[in-house]
Structure 1
Amino acid sequence: MLLLAVWVAGVLVYQLPGPGWLGKAVAIAWLLAAVAAAWQVARGRVRRWLGVGYLLALGAAALGWFSLQPRQDRVWADDVGQRLHVTAFDGRHVVLDNVRDFHWRTEQDYDVRWVRRSYDLDQLRSADLVMSYWMGPAIAHTLISFGFDDGRHLVFSVEIRKERGESFSALGGFFRQFEMTLVAAEETDIIRTRTNARGEDVYLYRLQGMTRPQLKALFASYLQEARLLDAKPAFYNTLTSNCTTIIFDLARQIAPGLPLDYRLLLSGYLAGYAHDLGVLVPGYSLQQLQAAGHINARARALPGDAGFSTAIRQGIPGTEQDPQ
């Protein structure tokens, strides 16, 4: 009874129409009533009206929950204002609309720029795991950066599609507060804003052991995810549909035997999971890879965008032969 009551309280806080204080007040009143009812049940004082009232409340909450539908037409924040669109893809050549290429001076001061980009997947040469820490050691935002023979990089990032003025809430992510979006961006945008504008701790690791066909298949999986979200919106979920679990689902399409692990939920430890699987550069301890992969100082030392991708990879094992 109490677990269900907590879930209903969350629905009330994050989904009840009206001002925020109203949802919180109703949720508190509901929890007090649920605790009192549970106490009566525990003492053997079961009343029919109590059970009927409780079931009606649960039914109303469930009805409201399943009536929630993700949307594409909200007033979105600038950095998620456009949906990634796969304009053309023949298995090798891909054209993407709405690749993000913002120039960030601060979190609030930036130039909005959405661009069209074309890539030849036969020129794929690398994939890097990028982890950005903003909430302690256990939680990180995870991104995948694909590198090409011509020195270009494209980063994919699963994020909440927040509305203008809205901010992330891990709890709200359990209660359908946010839609989900897939951002494709230049490294000078999506990585540099984290190292320079936001001051998050960012680590980059070269992924090993994938053939070029596997790299192409992983890239194509992101394209498929982009097409699905472009055609039909979906809710972000803190537990089941977040930046780390989506990467795992995509990777499992390439390697179905990947084991489940608690570090898929505690995303800050994902690099340790990758190290244990042997997909990071061999011959180095995790601590050595972390020390070499901390890119903040190199990112901040660069005066402009030119050479950013090369500069942040200096000294990172596995990146020595990358094109300049």
Structure 2
Amino acid sequence: MAQKMRFRVKYLFGAAALTLLLYVVIRLIFISPSNDREWKTEHAVMPSAEFSGTLVHVKNIRNFSYRSGGEFTPAYQDRIFDLEKIESVWFVLSPFVPGWRGPAHGFLSFGFADSQFVSISVEARKEPGESYSILKGLVNTYELIYVIGDERDLVGLRAVYWDDPVYVFPIKTGKERIRALFVDMLERANKLRESPEFYNTFTSNCATNLYEHANKLNPGKWSSFSWKLILPGYADELIYEKGVLDTELTLLEARERFKVNERAKKFIDSPNFSLDIRQVNTLSRSSYRK
């Protein structure tokens, strides 16, 4: 009797494992990415960019107004940026789990001489009823989207309404590389409109896509892959080790200095939100970075 029971248990486990394997194989081989689905409101509209000389016209910049983490009024803007006026790039990092920096979201913000800031966030594009899952992200569940948004939306949502820790780190690099990075990410956003791709937890997440952009522009510095890209909460360690975090502080001091939650809550309704969270109204850019 006991032997039969063990056989049945092994059979059930084997059948379950085979079913799971078939499910994964079917999703990986036979499911194709598509932009023609019903999407969650925050991912419903894809951005685009049109280039004309040094000017770029970015359409569908997300600028939602939030009442809580799940209640908002959708809004989109079109803006024109002068690539000659691009000044700075910032790495925004927001860990998900208190006490463990592993799971996190990271994205870039670009600053211009006219005090404009715009963020580009690589995200898993979700359908209504879907929530993010590390495991589902391995089996072609989500498409990939580059969300281009106002900082009050993308930073404010995480720092104020979700109350996740948010760090806005200044990056040390030349203006030509900043410009090339901005253009490369906009071109990738355009490409995804025409040729959709799947998000993948390990191989095509927020950090690995940023790594690909950075590696394309400066392969000597970013030539080796790091496990810290799979656990993006440690990405600030990676950029610190590479010497591109624009600060003379230790990493722990930098995390404390560049955490913006309190300032974001204080200035969420300020017309100068991006400047206020960086405190450039009272500190020079150089003193902020140090």
What residue identity is the alignment partner of 1:230?
R
1:66–1:303: structure 2 CA closer, same or farther, 3 Å change rule?
closer
Aligned to 2:13: 32
CA distance in 2: counterparts of 1:77 and 1:29, whole angstroms: 41
- Equivalent residues in 2 for 1:1-324 (5 A)? 32-33=13-14, 62-63=25-26, 65-86=28-49, 88-135=50-97, 136-208=100-172, 210-257=173-220, 258=222, 259-302=224-267, 304-314=269-279, 319-320=285-286
Deviation by residue 1:94-132 (Cα, 9 ceiling, x = unmatched): 111111011111122211101111101110000000001
Contact 1:126–1:148 (8 Å) recurs in 2: yes
Aligned to 1:41: none
Q: Unpaired segments of 5 or more residues in structure 2?
A: 1-8
CA distance in 2: counterparts of 1:103 and 1:116, whole angstroms: 16
Contact 1:83–1:98 (8 Å) recurs in 2: yes
Contact 2:156–2:268 (8 Å) recurs in 1: no
Q: CA RMSD in A?
A: 2.6
Deviation at residue 57 of structure 1 after TM alignment: 9.7
Deviation at residue 320 of structure 1 after TM alignment: 4.4
Q: TM-score, normalised by structure 2?
A: 0.87
Deviation by residue 1:133-180 (Cα, 9 ceiling, x = unmatched): 113311210010000000010100000111122111111000111111
CA distance in 2: counterparts of 1:31 and 1:159, whole angstroms: 37
Q: Which has the larger radius of gyration?
A: 1
Q: Secondary structure at the match of 1:119?
A: strand
Deviation at residue 319 of structure 1 after TM alignment: 3.1
Deviation at residue 65 of structure 1 after TM alignment: 3.1
CA distance in 1: counterparts of 2:249 and 2:196, whole angstroms: 41
What residue identity is the alignment partner of 1:300?
K
Contact 1:289–1:317 (8 Å) recurs in 2: no
CA distance in 1: counterparts of 2:113 and 2:179, whole angstroms: 13
Contact 2:33–2:196 (8 Å) recurs in 1: yes
Contact 2:86–2:111 (8 Å) recurs in 1: yes
Q: Secondary structure at the match of 1:115?
A: strand
Pick 1 or 2: higher relative contact order, CA cutoff 8 A, min separation 6.
2
Deviation at residue 31 of structure 1 after TM alignment: 6.9
1:125–1:57: structure 2 CA closer, same or farther, 3 Å change rule?
closer
Deviation at residue 189 of structure 1 after TM alignment: 0.6
CA distance in 2: counterparts of 1:249 and 1:303, whole angstroms: 32
Contact 1:188–1:305 (8 Å) recurs in 2: no
What residue identity is the alignment partner of 1:292?
R
Q: Unpaired segments of 5 or more residues in structure 1?
A: 1-27, 37-53
What residue identity is the alignment partner of 2:144?
M
Contact 1:206–1:318 (8 Å) recurs in 2: no
What residue identity is the alignment partner of 1:32?
F
CA distance in 2: counterparts of 1:96 and 1:277, whole angstroms: 31
